Amino acid sequence: EKAKNENKLDAFFSKVKDMRDSDDESVDENKAKQHQSPKQVMSALDDLLTSKEAQVIHVPFDMAIDQAVAAFNHNEYSYIRVKNGMYTWEGTLEVTKEIHIVGEDNAKLVGRWHFRDRGVRPSTIKNCQMFLLGHTTAKEFNRMVYVTSGELRLSDCALLSPNAYAVWTANKGVSVLAGCILAGNADGTRKAFGGAVV
């Protein structure tokens, strides 16, 4: 019985080897050019993932968050992907166009935003922790996310701003929050230690 099984296995492997050898013999020059080594395949994949065709800006690998927001164009890119970590910028990040940001777990965006896009489609931020640290000036009026025109949709985000309002929407701005946590936000001139889950 054992010898019979070994003979079957030998016959099977012999058949596979013959098929492989016959394939090698039948590959002509044009087909040979189509075959790629694993190294060539991985190199091509790497080129694709880092090319414009991937339609993703990776933070911090491609550029810093403020540079990614400035470079983003919805006709060229699908979204900005933020790796886990803490990312800060100087001053207020002015957003005058449609942007889409998706964070990995524990992606922290520390700073002030001003959304004033007059486009038709909304901007979106998903799965990010947003913070505003330190004191604000009277000119900045204690706002972390300020929406004055266009629509901003925040989903699955945590907004923590102990010295400012988390979201301030004015004029023709629209803010939509889904699955978000707001905590430690200022209430007028007094600090409020409450929060909200929306």
Residue 196 to residue 52: CA distance in whole angstroms: 39
Domain holding 24, by residue range, is 2-35
Q: Are residues 72 and 143 part of one domain?
A: yes
Domain count, the chain: 2
Q: 193 falls in which pLDDT band (50, 70, 90)?
A: very low
Residue 192 pLDDT: 41
Q: 194 falls in which pLDDT band (50, 70, 90)?
A: very low
Q: Are residues 137 and 100 part of one domain?
A: yes
Q: Is residue 69 a part of any domain in this protein?
A: yes
DSSP sequence for 65-98: HHHHHHH--TTT-SEEEE-SEEEEEEEEEEE-S-
Q: Are residues 193 and 113 part of one domain?
A: yes
Q: Is the pLDDT assigned to residue 108 strictly greater than 70?
A: yes
- The pTM assigned to this predicted structure is 0.67
Identify residue 28 by its one-letter amino acid code: D
- For the segment 106-133, the average pLDDT, to the nearest whole number, is 92
Q: Is the pLDDT assigned to residue 41 strictly greater than 80?
A: no
Q: Which residues pair with 81 in a beta bridge?
A: 58, 102
* Of the listed ranges 38-42, 63-67, 103-107, 115-119, the one predicted with least confidence: 38-42
Residue 14 pLDDT: 60
> Cβ(147)–Cβ(159) under 8 Å?
no
Q: Is residue 100 a part of any domain in this protein?
A: yes
Q: Are residues 184 and 122 part of one domain?
A: yes
Q: Are residues 151 and 62 part of one domain?
A: yes
DSSP sequence for 8-57: HHHHHHHHHHHHHHHHHHH--HHHHHH---HHHHHHHHHHHHTSGGG-EE
For the chain, what is the largest distance between any 2 Cα atoms, rounded to a whole number of angstroms? 90
Identify residue 64 by its one-letter amino acid code: A
- For the segment 24-52, the average pLDDT, to the nearest whole number, is 51
Q: Are residues 165 and 77 part of one domain?
A: yes
Q: How many CA atoms lie within 13 A of 188 on its CB side?
A: 1
Q: Are residues 152 and 113 part of one domain?
A: yes
8-state DSSP, 106: T
Q: Is residue 28 a part of any domain in this protein?
A: yes
Q: What average pLDDT does the structure give for the chain?
A: 77
Q: Is residue 27 a part of any domain in this protein?
A: yes
- For the segment 9-28, the average pLDDT, to the nearest whole number, is 56
Q: Is residue 46 a part of any domain in this protein?
A: no
Q: Are residues 135 and 93 part of one domain?
A: yes
Q: 163 falls in which pLDDT band (50, 70, 90)?
A: confident
Q: Is residue 42 a part of any domain in this protein?
A: no
Q: 118 falls in which pLDDT band (50, 70, 90)?
A: confident
> Cβ(152)–Cβ(125) under 8 Å?
yes
Q: Are residues 83 and 18 part of one domain?
A: no
Percent of the chain residues past pLDDT 70, beyond the cut: 61
Q: Is residue 41 a part of any domain in this protein?
A: no
